[in-house]
């Protein structure tokens, strides 16, 4: 048997950050993962450029059953701490819209920096290890790949099930339940919507087109680019909204959020241009013809009645649809739901009912908005836990 102070299950963003913090404090640490490489989600994050944090990493950007839960960990690790951490390895950044920080060097450099630093600090990273069983409550006993490891502390850092194609699984939730912890039901988040068959034509004709839009569901509204796909819609505004959507709920889209339609029509009252062509100047050319009934689309702007304006507003500013679903965990960036945070200390990430057991990262019921908030949470929860170990 190999004995350690700490075993961390999962060599992803949160597990590695936690391992480094604990190893630096002199703990003997083993990090286990079934993958051939560390931090595979980090390596594909941000389209390969890793949106590693956000300058506005505040509680307002997280979905969690207890909105206060994230406060303590976020207060202890600022976006500038993450920037400083990566700068030590020569990773520089570019600031994009909404305070999103991306690397200039690529996501592999971030994964490499985390991994190398852990090893240098003395943590043992064991890859290609199937976790067969976890037992005990101090010492915790982990059977993996023919080996038995023991430790007085166990950290579940197994992420969530999105992108199973790179090794994501539900094991974190199963283990948490094995220790008697409750989980909040999970669903895909930051995921494209699939439209019902009745809207196939709209998708087929518009696929590949993007435009600024406001997408609203369940009382949350996001204004950002929207992209039509062959099966529905995607793009930042849609991905954000998807994390708040529940099955069978309507989604309302404003395709022209920056310009009230009545104003546009009044400004062009003297023109005989057909409404579809007027709208084609401010929207993708084919979209107005697909959204408006033919008679309305072909009405000259000079003749559009008040009732017709209201009708056009309903279709352009308040286009409402009930998606048939989402593209699911295969294409979701995150998992919404997870281990119920009411049972976890927000300062140490330790389970209140199981001393020595900690849960961090995406396995918890904490989901960030799009924009670097999820990796920031993985790092911040890893830091809080690592300092407490």
Ligand X SMILES: Cc1cc2nc3c(=O)[nH]c(=O)nc-3n(C[C@H](O)[C@H](O)[C@H](O)COP(=O)(O)OP(=O)(O)OC[C@H]3O[C@@H](n4cnc5c(N)ncnc54)[C@H](O)[C@@H]3O)c2cc1C
Q: Rule CB under 6 A: which residues touch ligand X?
A: 10-15, 33-35, 40-42, 44-46, 50-51, 131, 157-159, 162-163, 167-169, 171, 333-334, 361-363, 372-375, 378
C-beta closer to ligand X: residue 215 or 366:
366
Residue 91, CA atoms < 13 Å, CB-side half-sphere: 24
CB of 112: closest distance to ligand X in angstroms?
14
DSSP states of 19-86? HHHHHHTT--EEEE-SSSSS-HHHHHGGGGT-EEEETT--GGGEEESSTTTTHHHHHHS-HHHHHHHH
C-beta closer to ligand X: residue 286 or 331:
331
DSSP, res 369: P
CA distance 330 to 374: 18
CB of 67: closest distance to ligand X in angstroms?
18
C-beta closer to ligand X: residue 131 or 292:
131
CB of 280: closest distance to ligand X in angstroms?
34
**Residue 37, token pair as written in the block:** 């490489």
CB of 215: closest distance to ligand X in angstroms?
19
Residue 94 CB burial class (10 angstroms; 0-12, 13-18, ≥19): exposed
Asked whether the beta carbons of 302 and 329 are under 8 A apart, the reply is no
C-beta closer to ligand X: residue 216 or 350:
350
Q: Determine the longest span between alpha carbons in the chain, in angstroms.
A: 85
C-beta closer to ligand X: residue 301 or 363:
363
C-beta closer to ligand X: residue 133 or 302:
133
Please give the residue whose beta carbon sits closest to ligand X in the complex.
12
- How many CB atoms lie under 10 A from the CB of residue 304? 22
CB of 377: closest distance to ligand X in angstroms?
7
**Residue 107, token pair as written in the block:** 């996501």
CB of 54: closest distance to ligand X in angstroms?
8
C-beta closer to ligand X: residue 14 or 301:
14
CB of 331: closest distance to ligand X in angstroms?
8
C-beta closer to ligand X: residue 50 or 278:
50
CB of 360: closest distance to ligand X in angstroms?
7
CA distance 217 to 368: 17
Strands 319-321 and 251-254: antiparallel
* The CA-based dihedral angle spanning residues 225, 230, 232, 233, taken in that order and rounded to the nearest 10 degrees: -10
């Amino acid at each position: 048997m190999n004995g350690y102070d700490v075993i961390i299950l999962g060599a992803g963003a949160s597990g590695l950050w936690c391992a480094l913090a604990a190893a630096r404090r002199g703990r003997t640490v083993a990090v286990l993962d079934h993958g051939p490489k560390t931090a595979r989600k980090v390596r594909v994050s941000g389209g390969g450029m890793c949106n590693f944090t956000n300058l506005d990493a505040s509680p307002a950007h997280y979905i969690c059953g207890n909105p206060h839960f994230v406060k303590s960990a976020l207060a202890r690790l600022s976006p500038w701490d993450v920037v400083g951490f990566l700068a030590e390895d020569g990773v520089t950044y570019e600031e994009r819209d909404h305070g999103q920080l991306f690397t200039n060097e690529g996501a592999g450099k971030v994964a490499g920096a985390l991994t190398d630093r852990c090893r240098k600090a003395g943590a043992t990273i064991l890859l290609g290890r199937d976790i067969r069983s976890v037992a005990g409550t101090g010492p915790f006993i982990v059977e993996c790949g023919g080996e038995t490891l023991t430790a007085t502390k166990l950290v579940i850092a197994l992420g969530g099930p999105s992108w199973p194609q790179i090794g994501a699984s539900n094991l974190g939730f199963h283990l948490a339940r094995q220790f008697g912890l409750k989980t909040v039901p999970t669903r895909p988040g930051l995921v494209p919507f699939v439209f019902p068959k009745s809207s196939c034509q709209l998708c087929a004709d518009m696929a590949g087109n993007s435009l600024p839009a406001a997408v609203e569901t369940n009382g949350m509204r996001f204004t950002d680019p929207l992209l039509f796909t062959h099966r529905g819609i995607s793009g930042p505004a849609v991905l954000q909204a998807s994390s708040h959507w529940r099955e069978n709920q309507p989604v309302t889209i404003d395709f022209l959020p920056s310009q009230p339609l009545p104003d546009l029509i009044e400004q062009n009252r003297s023109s005989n241009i057909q409404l579809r062509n007027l709208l084609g100047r401010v929207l993708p050319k084919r979209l107005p013809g697909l959204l408006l009934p033919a008679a309305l689309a072909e009405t000259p702007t000079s003749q559009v009645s008040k009732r017709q304006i209201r009708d056009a507003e309903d279709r352009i500013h308040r286009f409402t649809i009930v998606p048939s679903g989402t593209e699911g965990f295969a294409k979701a960036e995150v998992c919404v739901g997870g281990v119920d945070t009411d049972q976890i200390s927000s300062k140490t990430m330790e389970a209140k009912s199981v001393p020595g057991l900690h849960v961090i990262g995406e396995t918890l019921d904490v989901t960030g908005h799009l924009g670097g908030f999820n990796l920031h949470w993985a790092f911040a929860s890893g830091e809080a836990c690592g300092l407490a170990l």
